[in-house]
Structure 1
Amino acid sequence: MDLNQGQRTLGASGLRATGAGEGVVRLAITGPGGYSATQESRITIRSPRPAGREVVLSSIPAGQTARIAPNLQAYYAGTVTVRATWGQPVRYDPAALMRAAVDFAFACSEQASSRIMALSAFPYEEERDARLDSYIRQLLDKQRYDGSLGLWSSQGDADRFVTSYGAEALLRARTAGATVPEGPMNALLQSIRDGVEESGIDEPYDRAVQAYRLHVLAMAGRPNPGAARRLYEVLNDLPTPLSRAQLGAAFARMGDRERAEASFNAALSMPPRRFWYQDYGSPIRDNLAIALLLKESGVLPNRLNEVVGRLPGPEFNPNTASTQEAAWAVATAAALGRDGRPVRVSVGGSAAAPAPVVSQRISPPVDVRNNGEGALPQAVSIIGLPVQAPPAGREGMRISRRFLTMQGEAVNLDQLRQNQVFILWVEARAETNETHRAMVQQGLPAGWEIVGRFGEGDVPAAPFLGTLSEAESFPALDDRFAAAVTLTPGSPVARYAVRVRAVTAGRFELPGAEVRDMYRPNIYARQNTGRITIAPVQ
């Protein structure tokens, strides 16, 4: 059938605070004999730069009114989201950290678990139930044949720590009302129980994993008191404060108060730990998690204020927090806030329903009145697309890139033409002499697409690329090239190359290449942004 020329319309919503929006392409076709057909496709529109985040903490005296009127000129109009939270029992903003965990760009099992943990503890987020369902599916997609979790896929090796972390996240989601499929959940818990019975506790990491397993099984109502008592015999050999607290939490759930108190005391008396990549942990993460576990256990109530005093303050913000730190921060704030006096606050002249914590999106400027009898903690978080792209910088890492022809010559990015194919080459290097779980990424201008990736090793037809590295995962993203890799003292360099095609004529922003430790965000390297031009095909 000969069809007449179709009519096409394109509409796009404004970019959200995360720098992403949605476009709609509608195609309407008519033909002879009254034939007609329509097709609608939705496409994601993303900014080439990451969202900017700010947090402002303050206090409103009893009976007083304060105005929230932040200066938003640093962000593009229409991209800003402002949320205010009142009555939070901590000195940081759990709402901002929840968004940081949820908006993280990647989705390994640890990151998916952190999303679940954060969102389960934050009932004020819009569309929370639908989001939780999505993140639960995202996590279970990485469940292996034996019930455990692979870090990046169900085909990868089991990550023993993340298997327990994922199980805890799912248990907390179920308590929050989310639907967690029984079959996968039972298989996950069975893999953890099998690990308890089959694994030794001779090495520090083995002991840390065993403590987490016992804590999760106790949470699920499937305690193993024999294995817990065996691990208790080497309590002072547990390598981290968190592992000791997890063992204490397991004993508390089993009703063994004496061992629970001894385990928590051992956790609290241990010096602050250094970052340890194997358990994704840091001193901040451990302090947050210990406060949550101690609060939930009900033991040592006289030491809870001491533990809360160790929690981070206003300097702890979403720009520097790891996914682990952000998730535990939200869960801890929720647990500590359950016993607080109801917040009585009016926003823009309307009284909010009294609750231990009140959190809502606002449209500043807006007046807020504290109707309570004491000072009211207030946290205001701002997320938006910044007018100025983040500048180049580095701390402990280096990043470099080249754009090459297929023959290895430099490409002039101002003289690209539609359909031209060239090579993006990127190299990341760690300079700390430590191990880093890093993500190497290069954002793609809107006019580019990746058409192929060179495999690891030497490329006979392109010796100028050098020896390319293996990656643990290449996340399937259409707006950037990304590779997850563990950089070690013995192998501190990662090198990748992909073929890129210029597909759309115009001028576009070119994001800088970046490498970052996913669990120590302050160790990174980032280039400046630039501009590229693609001329129409001749």
Structure 2
Amino acid sequence: DGAAILALAAESKPVPSIMPQLIKLVGVARADARWTSTQDESWMLLAARALKEGNDSITLSVNGAPHSGGYSDQIAGSDLVDSPLTIANTGATPLQAVVTAVAAPVDPLPAGGDGFTIDRTYYRLDGTVANVTEARQNERYVVVLKIYEQNKWPSRLLITDLLPAGFDIDNPSLVSSAQLSNFSWLAQTDAAHLEFRDDRFVAAFNPNEGDGDRNITLAYVVRAVTPGTYAHPAATVEDMYRPQYSARTATGVMEVKAE
């Protein structure tokens, strides 16, 4: 709510005098929040865009060179080691600097979460379990995702399964037992939304209070296409409006072997 008020205030002309207090309020709230929802992120982005319009009066020194207006850049850690970045405020008004660090884990992340459990299993088309850490090129696999929501309140769920780079979704229509005779135990999918993208499978569900069973089973078919060794991303489930509740499968490494 604070970010929404800040976004609206920053777009007002003239700019209200309470802007510094609003910026501080939102900054403290964001720093204290471990999780944010998509709405939170959207309002903070709108607030940042509105605030950027008032940066013309900022004067800086970037590595000794004069710079007018706000400054932002994306720099690799190795580049900072070789060439440190020095920024100084040459104006009379105090400024706030924000540094965001993004890095990939050194070791594969284990499965985990809160409020949900999610499991991912690969099967051959004959119904037997497959080990895709060593997949064969052009072989097809049925990916089965099993999700259980531990809470019973109304929710909006998003399930995402990122594909390893060597896999492609083979046939988006094969998501129910109707076309898979060896998978009679698969239930008909009743998702609110399904997407079969180049790099991921996405499903959305809108369970309501009193629906009873909170187990979800999804299935789709992939084909091993390109030989090589690839990162195997996690499948995830999240409550879109309660971001503290989510779960993931383990990440890992897999190989597609040439025929």
Which of 339, 342, 362 is the matching residue for 2:57?
342
Which of 344, 355, 359 is the matching residue for 2:72?
359
Structure 1 vs Structure 2 CA RMSD: 3.3
Shift of residue 461 of structure 1? 1.6
Q: Paired residue for 1:479?
A: 199
SS in 1 for 2:202: strand
- Unaligned 5+ residue runs, structure 2? none
Is residue 2:139 matched to residue 1:424?
A: no
Q: Provide, for residues 80-122 of structure 1, a one-character-per-residue CA deviation record: whole Å limited to 9, x for no partner.
A: xxxxxxxxxxxxxxxxxxxxxxxxxxxxxxxxxxxxxxxxxxx
Aligned residue type for 2:63 = G
Is residue 2:17 matched to residue 1:293?
A: no
Shift of residue 296 of structure 1? 4.7
1:399–1:515 CA contact under 8 A, matched in 2:
yes
**Structure 2 length-normalised TM:** 0.78
Which of 89, 100, 105 is the matching residue for 1:370?
89
Shift of residue 346 of structure 1? 0.4
When you count strand as a share of all residues, which structure comes out higher? Answer: 2
Shift of residue 348 of structure 1? 0.7
Structure with greater Cα Rg:
1
Shift of residue 373 of structure 1? 3.1
Q: Provide, for residues 456-494 of structure 1, a one-character-per-residue CA deviation record: whole Å limited to 9, x for no partner.
A: 466672344421322233224112222222233415332
When you count helix as a share of all residues, which structure comes out higher? Answer: 1
Q: Paired residue for 1:451?
A: 170
Q: Provide, for residues 185-242 of structure 1, a one-character-per-residue CA deviation record: whole Å limited to 9, x for no partner.
A: xxxxxxxxxxxxxxxxxxxxxxxxxxxxxxxxxxxxxxxxxxxxxxxxxxxxxxxxxx
2:118–2:147 CA contact under 8 A, matched in 1:
yes
2:175–2:220 CA contact under 8 A, matched in 1:
no
1:408–1:464 CA contact under 8 A, matched in 2:
no
Q: Paired residue for 1:156?
A: none
Give the Cα separation in 2 of the matches to 1:302 and 1:366: 33
Shift of residue 517 of structure 1? 2.4
Q: Paired residue for 1:535?
A: 257
Is residue 2:47 matched to residue 1:332?
A: yes
2:163–2:199 CA contact under 8 A, matched in 1:
yes
Q: How many residues are matched?
A: 249
Give the Cα separation in 2 of the matches to 1:306 and 1:532: 51
Give the Cα separation in 2 of the matches to 1:329 and 1:441: 24
Shift of residue 328 of structure 1? 1.3
- Unaligned 5+ residue runs, structure 1? 1-285
Aligned residue type for 2:165 = A
Change (3 A) 1:458 1:492: farther
Q: Paired residue for 1:160?
A: none
Shift of residue 419 of structure 1? 2.0
Q: How does 1:270-289 map to 2 (within 5 A)?
A: 286-289=1-4
Change (3 A) 1:536 1:439: same
Q: Which has the higher contact order (CA 8 A, sep 6+)?
A: 2
SS in 1 for 2:3: helix
1:435–1:487 CA contact under 8 A, matched in 2:
yes
Is residue 2:124 matched to residue 1:411?
A: no
**Structure 1 length-normalised TM:** 0.41
Q: Provide, for residues 232-263 of structure 1, a one-character-per-residue CA deviation record: whole Å limited to 9, x for no partner.
A: xxxxxxxxxxxxxxxxxxxxxxxxxxxxxxxx
Shift of residue 379 of structure 1? 0.9
1:485–1:494 CA contact under 8 A, matched in 2:
no
2:176–2:219 CA contact under 8 A, matched in 1:
no
Change (3 A) 1:505 1:455: closer
